[in-house]
Amino acid sequence: MSKPPTASAPPRALHRPLSPHLQIWRYHITMFTSILHRITGVATIAGLLLGAGWLVALGATASGICPEAYTVYLTFAASPFGLLVWVGVTLAGFLHLTGGLRHLIWDMGLGFDLKTSNLMAWSGLLTAVLATIAVWFYLFATGKVVL
Amino acid sequence: MSDSYLTERSAKDWKKSVKHGAGEWLAERGTSVALIPLVLWAVFSGIGLANQGYEASLAFVRVPLNAGLIALLFLISGWHMFMGLKVIIDDYIGKPGTRGLLNLVNLLFCLAVVVAVLGGLYFVFKA
């Protein structure tokens, strides 16, 4: 296994970077936005499926393969539960969008300091929530979506 | 320096990928950047089409530019989704057999979504 420690070569284990221990880590907002980016990425798949379902239903109805396909799609997509999914997808999508922008900024080697990281985490959350509210406020206010 | 492991072990000994890695990195960033305008366009289009009925949706998709952007959106997001899910599977699934199987399911799922969308577009235009 490992060689016994000598004066010239101290035990390697001493100098290895340690894994983060969740029990002793102080909570930080970037911890939350980090895992949130992964969660919202998965949640946004629901939006992709809603979009794909819309196009499949449109094609099936237009071609006459299954004329009632579009109505079937709407019974889900326009139902209260469907609406809940749409709202969730909007929020998850905007969170993933702002999170993705944050990561692209980091990928350019910018904004790694604590102050900028905190600012990007909070502004990303706020922007996503406000964008979601704006979209759904508009849809309800104009009567395009009714419960 | 007390970081003797850095000098003791040369960078040549570090386990690293020599065949791929950079390509995936660029593909993840490239798809992300491309999806920013495409998703915003999709949100605006969706708002415009909400509650407008079947005929309005059909007319929208039959505009060649819209159909092209829809195809592009789903091709790129299907690819982006595959890479994202693959990273999650690779992170959390330790058993190579299970990991390989799940990644195959992932690939088939993402391909199915893209094929379904392209099929839908085909039938919209064929009709």
- Report helix, strand and coil shares of chain A as percent, to nearest 5: 70, 0, 30
The distance in angstroms from the start CA to the end CA of chain B is 73
* Closest CB to A58 among B74, B113, B124: B124
Q: What is the DSSP letter of A108?
A: T
From the CA of B106, how many Å to the nearest CA of chain A? Answer: 12
Cα Rg, chain A, nearest whole Å: 24
Q: Residue A95's domain is classified under what CATH number?
A: 1.20.1300.10
Which pLDDT belongs to residue A14?
63
Judge whether B116 and A55 are in contact, CB under 8 Å: yes
Query: A52 — contact with chain B (CB < 8 Å)?
Result: yes
Query: B126 — contact with chain A (CB < 8 Å)?
Result: yes
Which of the residue ranges A18-32, A35-49, A57-71, B70-84 would you say has the lowest mean pLDDT?
A18-32
* Residue A73 CA from chain centroid, whole number: 25
Structural domain span for residue A102? 28-141
Which pLDDT belongs to residue B19?
72
Residue A4 has pLDDT above 80, yes or no: no
Q: Catalogue all structural domains in chain B, each as residue range(s) with its CATH number.
A: 21-126 (1.20.1300.10)
Tell me the two tokens of residue B103. Answer: 């990644």
Domains identified in chain A, total number: 1
- Is B4–A52 a contact, with Cβ atoms under 8 angstroms apart? no
- Is B2–A10 a contact, with Cβ atoms under 8 angstroms apart? yes
- Is B61–A55 a contact, with Cβ atoms under 8 angstroms apart? yes
What is the number of other CB atoms lying within 10 angstroms of the CB of residue B113?
22
Please, which residues have CB within 8 angstroms of residue A89's CB and are 6 or more apart in sequence? A43, A44, A46, A47, A50
Tell me the two tokens of residue A142. Answer: 């104009």
Which pLDDT belongs to residue A1?
46
Residues of chain B with confidence (pLDDT) below 50: 1
Most confidently modeled of A24-33, A68-77, B12-21? Answer: A68-77
Instruction: Tell me what the mean pLDDT of segment A75-83 comes to.
Output: 95
CA–CA distance, B15 with A82 (Å, rounded to integer):
47
